Chains A and B, each alone.
Chain A
Amino acid sequence: MEPALGDGNPVPQGPSFSWAWMIAFLSKRLLLAIPTLLVASFLIFSLVHIAPGDPIQVMLGDFQDPELIARLRHEMGLDLPLFQQYLHWLGNIVRGDLGISITVQRGASVTDLILQRFAVTVELALLSLTIALLIAIPTGIVSALRQNKLSDHISRIIALLGVSIPNFFLGILLILFVGVYLRKPWGAGGYVPLSRGLLKNLAHMFLPAVALGTAYAAIIMRMMRSAMLDTMSRDFVRTARAMGIAPGDIVRRDIVKNALIPVVTVIGNSIGYLLGGSIVTETVFRLPGVGNLVIMGVFRRDFPVIQAVVLIIVVVRIVINLVVDLTYGFLDPRIRYGGER
């Protein structure tokens, strides 16, 4: 059985999900992602070199000890030709070594620094994503079904404000309201590790996740609504009505199912916002995450830290896009089985 991948392959045999399709699809996408990743990693690597001045001197600032400079230069492989440096750097990364921090925490392994903070950022991002999707998709559906009714207008206005309010301002407003005005200890920012209880941890993560997820939710809600309206005027919906199909069934199997296809694209495309936004949100709520680390890195000009975090964000983004593509294939048989698109 030969799965079709949108390049005019023979008509496949059955409609059900097949592992063969998934594996072929995944490997094709992975192959496409690799060159992007390589070039992106080279750009990230070159960051050190596009800046004017000698990177070591730049990093150390006023603290200029010739012996230290020479050691660091060797440590970072800066005495090698540029391309060799890159290969060296890449090779280390592939082995899980992201380099040594220079100024954030002198001598610490960047891999360790990131691992210490990774869970916070992942939790924040996943929680925001969950909250955003749980709110946005149903609201978008209801809003479209009740187009131009009061509830539609209200959710559209909230969505408009949601895309316009910067997450750092929303975060501060939430702290003002929950932490200062309501005097809730969990509304004041700060981080409680999971080891001190899931509920406490979640409580402290809740406001940051709301602050970060709001704009994302608003974008998805608007897209869901307009995709629903678009789908509702499609011919096959009229066909279903002409066949006497019940409205609930039409909403579920005709409208929502087809409207989700473009929405998934937007969910994937906007994930970059979530990744960039988490850096800001961590600052607002004083969360010790990866974003916090990269900001420290920028302030103290710790190039290995900056490079590592940016690379990880780009990798995560590419992986997420892969997952989105896969979801797309699940939702849209025209992709799963090729043919016209």
Chain B
Amino acid sequence: MSGLLRVEGLVTRFYTEEGVVKAVDGNSFHLEENEALGVVGESGSGKTVTALSIMRLIEAPGRIEAGRILFRGEDLLTKPEREMRRIRGRDLSMVFQDSLSSLNPTLTVGAQIARVLKHHTRLSSRARRRRAVELLAAVGIPEPEKRASHYPHQLSGGMRQRALIAMAISCNPKLLILDEPTTALDVTIEAQIFELIGKLKGEFGMGVFLITHDLSVVASFCRRVIIMYAGKIVEEAPVGDLYANPLHPYTLGLLRSIPPLDGEAERLESIPGEVPDLINLPPGCNFSPRCHLADERCWQREPELLEASPGHRVACWKAGKGGKGG
């Protein structure tokens, strides 16, 4: 089985004036049809670059250096740009985080959706217009007829995000990438948006690749989760497994930094230190400067991503030795 998406050994780098930024450094993972996969990490961990690499939207000075991105069995990295344009928005779609800046301020919301349809379908302009309104209705925007003729700045944040989702799903994509789709929104709206995505995922049978820095979102929405740190996958596990048995000290730190849903909040911990400079990565494990367990070996040799139990992979010499919860 090849699954919906299989990424193998992806390396994406940015050649900046300051040096080479190793944004994504040799990652492999896969995503099944109709599956929701969560990707968690701090900003700068390579989540977004991974997503943009899949979309083939990496721009200069960035470059995809190595790897294969098999989407429904075909390697996207070997496809000519023309063909990628047909795939983007139709089979493979993406919703970005800031809905205000992600929508064109000088086009109405309806026109922006209709435009996507124009490039991927043979609908007449009237039919595109009608379909745009239907899509706005489908993502739960009230009075879609009226809203279609509004400009982005005239809509609320939640409505804009819905409109952006409507645009992304307008051609029934097989895979939808969501890049922190709710960061700008308050908790109630966030819940509504995820409810909507869940519903759409069921209706359209899409795979969902959800990028977030919030483990609690993943817990309620995804089946599996990938933890990224400094451009590398450090842990991958089914969600339940990850919560019950986090193996990487970084995962543990992340789990400790979210408030528990029940009971009194104990003192929240944040992970000490900062994300390392992706230009000058430390030798050995990238996390060792922040890791209280790190020893000689961690500083010298990089741990490989190895299977600890079925479906649970981790890249750490000290895997599972961080203790639980406390």
Contacts and interface: CB of A to CB of B under 8 A. Distances in A.
Contacts of A242: 55, 57, 88-89, 93-94, 96, 168
B85 A246 contact: yes
Contacts of A257: 104, 106-107
A334 interface: yes
Contact of A239 (B87, B102, B106, B150): B102
B106 A331 contact: yes
Given A333-B105, A337-B154, A239 B96 contact: yes
Contacts of B172: none
Given A238-B96, A333-B105, A15 B90 contact: no
B115 A245 contact: yes
A234 B151 contact: no
Contacts, number: 95
B149 interface: yes
A236 B102 contact: yes
A241 B98 contact: no
Interface string B102-130: 11111110000001100110000000000
A325 interface: no
Contact of B153 (A14, A254, A334): A334
B115 A253 contact: yes
Interface string A316-341: 00000000000000011110010110
Contacts of A332: 105-106
Q: Which of A13, A15, A234, A257 has the most CB of B within 10 A?
A: A15
Contacts of A239: 96, 102-104, 164, 167
Contacts of B301: none
Most A CB within 10 A of own CB, among B98, B104, B146: B104
Interface in B167-215: 167-168
B101 interface: yes
A244 interface: yes
Contacts of A254: 104
B86 interface: yes
Interface string B264-293: 000000000000000000000000000000
Contacts of A249: 115, 119
Given A242-B89, A244-B87, A249-B119, A15 B57 contact: no
A236 B86 contact: no
Given A257-B106, A333-B106, A243 B101 contact: no
Interface in A226-252: 234-236, 238-246, 249
Contact of B98 (A235, A243, A244, A331): A235
Contact of B154 (A241, A243, A245, A339): A339
A258 interface: yes
A332 B105 CA distance: 8
Contact of B85 (A13, A244, A253): A244
Nearest to A336: B151
A11 interface: yes
A242 B169 CA distance: 12
Nearest to A11: B154
Nearest to B103: A236
A333 B167 CA distance: 20
Contacts of B151: 15, 333-334, 337
B119 A246 contact: yes
A64 B106 CA distance: 65
B105 A244 contact: no
B99 to A, nearest CB: 9
Contacts of B98: 235
A258 to B, nearest CB: 6
Contacts of B154: 11-12, 337, 339
Interface string B58-90: 000000000000000000000000001111111
Contact of A258 (B93, B106, B149): B106
Nearest to B170: A243
A273 B101 CA distance: 34
A337 B55 CA distance: 35
Interface in A192-211: none
Q: Most chain-A Cβ atoms within 10 A of its Cβ — which of B84, B146, B153, B167?
A: B153
Given A235-B98, A243-B116, A253-B106, 13 more contacts: A236-B104, A240-B104, A241-B88, A242-B55, A242-B57, A244-B85, A245-B85, A245-B89, A246-B119, A249-B115, A253-B104, A257-B106, A331-B106
Interface of A: 11-15, 234-236, 238-246, 249, 253-254, 257-258, 261, 331-334, 337, 339-340
6 contacts: A238-B96, A241-B57, A242-B88, A244-B89, A333-B105, A340-B153
Which A-B residue pairs are the 9 nearest by beta carbons? A244-B89, A243-B89, A244-B88, A235-B101, A333-B151, A339-B153, A242-B94, A236-B104, A243-B116
